[in-house]
Amino acid sequence: MKTKIGEWKSGIKNGIPIAMGYFAVSFTFGILAKQAGLNPFEAVLMSVTNLTSAGQFAGLTLIASAAAIVEIAVTQLIINSRYFLMSFALSQKIDPNTPVFHRLIMAYGITDEVFGVSIAVPGKLSPYYAYGLMSVAVPGWALGTLFGVISGNILPPRMISALSIALFGMLLAVIIPPAKGNKILTGLIVISMVLSLVFAELQILQSISSGVKIIILTILIAGIAAVVFPVKEHTHEYE
Q: How far is the CB of 181 from another protein (least distance, A)?
A: 10
Tell which one of 177, 202, 205, 206 touches another protein (CB under 8 A). Answer: 177
The sign of the dihedral angle between the CA atoms of 153, 35, 176, 88 is positive
Q: Which range touches another protein (CB under 8 A), out of 8-16, 134-142, 144-152, 175-183? A: 175-183
Nearer to another protein, 86 or 142 (CB): 86
Tell which one of 12, 138, 149, 170 touches another protein (CB under 8 A). Answer: 170
Nearer to another protein, 5 or 224 (CB): 224
Site string for another protein, 204-223 (x = CB under 8 A): ------x--xx--xx--xxx
Q: How far is the CB of 8 from another protein (least distance, A)?
A: 19
If one asks whether residue 106 binds another protein (CB under 8 A), the answer comes out as yes
Residues in 82-101 at the binding interface with another protein, rule: CB under 8 A: 82-88, 90-92, 96, 100
Q: How far is the CB of 139 from another protein (least distance, A)?
A: 17
Measured distance CA(75)–CA(170) in Å, rounded = 20
Measured distance CA(186)–CA(192) in Å, rounded = 10
Contacts 24+ apart (CB under 8 A), 121-130: 121/93, 124/93, 124/94, 124/95, 125/90, 125/93, 125/94, 126/2, 126/4, 126/7, 127/94, 127/98, 127/102, 128/4, 128/5, 128/7, 128/8, 128/11, 129/7, 129/8, 129/10, 129/11, 130/11, 130/106
Q: Which residues on adjacent β-strands are paired with residue 125?
A: 94
Site string for another protein, 4-43 (x = CB under 8 A): ----------------xx--xx--x--------xxx--x-
Cα 87 off chain centre by: 13
Tell which one of 9, 63, 119, 150 touches another protein (CB under 8 A). Answer: 63
Measured distance CA(18)–CA(141) in Å, rounded = 9
Question: Are residues 13 and 133 in contact, defined by beta-carbon separation less than 8 angstroms?
Answer: no
Tell which one of 16, 197, 202, 205 touches another protein (CB under 8 A). Answer: 197
Site string for another protein, 114-153 (x = CB under 8 A): ----------------------------------------
